[in-house]
Each structure stands twice: as C-alpha cells, then as structure tokens.
Amino acid sequence: MTTDKSRDGKWVHTRKIEINTLDLGDHQVLIEGNLADTRTSHSPSGEPEGSSVLVHHLTARLWVQGPDLTISAVEAEMPTIPREICPQALPAVQKLVGLKIITGFTQKVKDLIGDVKGCSHLTNLFLTLGPVAVQGYFAAYGRRPGVRSLDNPSISRVIDSCHVWRKDGPYVKSLAAATAREKKGA
C-alpha cells in the first residue's frame, strides 16, 4: 500500500520487465523477455536534472519444449549496457539448455549462471522467464482434452508451486477427482 510519506523522496531508478510467449506449434513455445533499467539524474553528471538515462536494456529468450517443459535453446542480447565487458557474461546462458522448468528451477538457474558466473541482471530476467514459460505453455496447450490431468507431467510439475496448486488444496483435489473420473470412463 502506498502512503503519502513514501512519495516524499525522488524517484531514482525504474526497472521495467516485459515478457511475451509465442506458440511455435508441436508443443514448443518461445518466451522472450526484455529488461530496461533507467535512472533519473539527481547529480552533476552532465544530464539535465530529472532526465532519465537508460542503463540496461537486455533481452532473453527461452525455447521450451512441452509437455515436460525442457529448455531446448537459449539466447540473450545486451543492446544497452553500462560497461563494455558486460557481454562477456553472455556465453554462460547456454548452460540453461536442457534444464527443466520444475521445482528447484530457481536454484538451478542461480547455480548455473548466477553470481560471478554471469550477469545478475540477465540471471534475474531468466528467473522471471521460468514461471512465464509455464503460464505461456498452458495458454497454448492447456485447454486441450486430457491436459488438465494429474497424469500430465506438466501439471504434476506445478503441484506445490504455490498456495492454489498445493497438493492438499481444493484445486488439486478437484483435478484429482476429474482425473479419476476420466480413468473410470475410459
């Protein structure tokens, strides 16, 4: 909740992240994310007071193959960066190929490309792409018959991923009942 007190200062930094998912067919989706960091000048740095300066513009792409949500390809670009050595971190993102977007994804990404092994901004962006890949895959393929079954590996991978998808919660119980009905009717 924003209070009047929180607006007493000056905005100095804004991060915007936009992520889109493209259905490529044959149970494959492409997730593309863009991260833009801008800073507002409040110091004698040559820019007019209050002007915004783009510090980072990064793009990350994941090709994800379903139904097991395996990363089949990765790309990253750094159109705007603060240091000329930043692109040295780009090759590290290839370590994500073959990774499945399942429980533990966040830690695996951090282990593979986090800290000094990569770029903290790209790592943050790839961490954000994982859950969006799940959402995008289900937007493309989740309405087909039999997909919302606990027997589907894509569904079983999201069990216990949040409050709604908790194993003992009403939503998962309703999916279990529907799966049992489908098996009984088959």
Cα(96)–Cα(102) distance, rounded to whole angstroms? 13
Pair 132, 17: CB distance under 8 Å: no
Give the pairing type, strands 28-40 and 70-80. Answer: unpaired
Strand order in the sheet with 13-25: 13-25, 28-40, 52-65, 70-80
Query: What is the per-residue pLDDT for 29?
Result: 98
Instruction: Extract the tokens encoding 142.
Output: 């989740």
pLDDT band with cut points at 50, 70 and 90 for residue 42: low
pLDDT at 4 over 90: no
- What average pLDDT does this structure show over 120-137? 94
Contact between 49 and 42 under an 8 Å Cβ cutoff? The reply is: yes
Domain boundaries, the chain: 8-141, 144-186
Structure confidence at residue 22 (pLDDT): 98
pLDDT number for residue 165: 86
Nearest alpha carbon to residue 100 among 131, 69, 66, 125: 69
CA dihedral 162, 159, 137, 130 (to 10 degrees): 50
Across residues 124-139, what is the average pLDDT? 93
- The whole model's pTM is what? 0.81
List pLDDT tens digits, range 150-161. 777 667 777 888
Phi, psi of 12, deg, nearest 5: -125, -15
Tens digits of residue pLDDT in 68-117: 899 999 999 999 999 999 999 999 999 999 999 988 899 999 999 999 99
3 state DSSP class of 63: strand
CB 155 within 8 A of CB 137: no
Q: How far apart are CA 20 and CA 18, in angstroms?
A: 7
Q: Is pLDDT at 23 greater than 70 in this prediction?
A: yes
| Residue 138: band (very low, low, confident or very high) from pLDDT cuts 50, 70, 90 | confident
Q: Which of 179 and 106 is assigned the larger pLDDT?
A: 106
